[in-house]
Amino acid sequence: MNEEIRDKELRIVSESGEQLGIMSSKEALKIAEERNLDLVKIAPYAVPPVCKVMDYGKYRFEQSKREKEAKKHQKVIEMKEIRLSLNIDKHDFDTKANHAKRFLSDGYKVKVSIRFRGREMAHAENGKTIMANFAEVCSEFGEIEKGAKMEARSMLMFLVPIVSK
């Protein structure tokens, strides 16, 4: 920006977007000062580098405004977690399934996990069965994004809400 530009020749673009041509950095800086604006390098790797005559403060303000606006329209998907155990009882299973259904209908992703303790590691197939039953019970509200998979001592599965069309 301004005096920090050390290149000998620059391609200059005016604030309205018209090409002013190729000139030295001193001449370009003089044009910018005459118009009470800044000289900003916008394409430093072009040959010769491209600089634009603009109000840099106004440019930064508009850029931050655009970023804030884009952030407003960005949808962040939150995740809820349901923890099951290998020897879960029917009523507990139904309660956890109802929680998952409610989360899915509210639009949350659901992470279902089973933590294996001690000798339970020998019965990973029982964990897969529980996960499959859980996914089946929740099938009208959500679908499987990632199937049941072992990670260290836990088995994880991810459910996402079904998007109505």
151 phi/psi in degrees, rounded to 5 = -135, 105
How much is the pTM?
0.54
Tell the CATH topology of 2-70.
Ubiquitin-like (UB roll) (3.10.20)
Question: Residue with structure tokens 């790797």?
Answer: 45
Question: For the chain, what are the domain ranges?
Answer: 2-70, 79-161
Bigger pLDDT: 39 vs 99: 99
Q: What is the mean pLDDT of the chain?
A: 87
Strand 142-151 versus strand 154-161 pairing type:
antiparallel
Q: How far apart are CA 52 and CA 12, in angstroms?
A: 6
pLDDT tens-digit readout, 29-68:
888 888 888 888 888 888 888 888 888 888 888 889 999 8
pLDDT at res. 98: 94
In this structure, the number of other CB atoms found within 10 A of the CB of residue 121 comes to 12
* Superfamily, domain 79-161: Translation initiation factor 3 (IF-3), C-terminal domain (3.30.110.10)
pLDDT at 164 over 70: no
Torsion of Cα atoms, 68 then 69 then 71 then 76, to 10°:
150
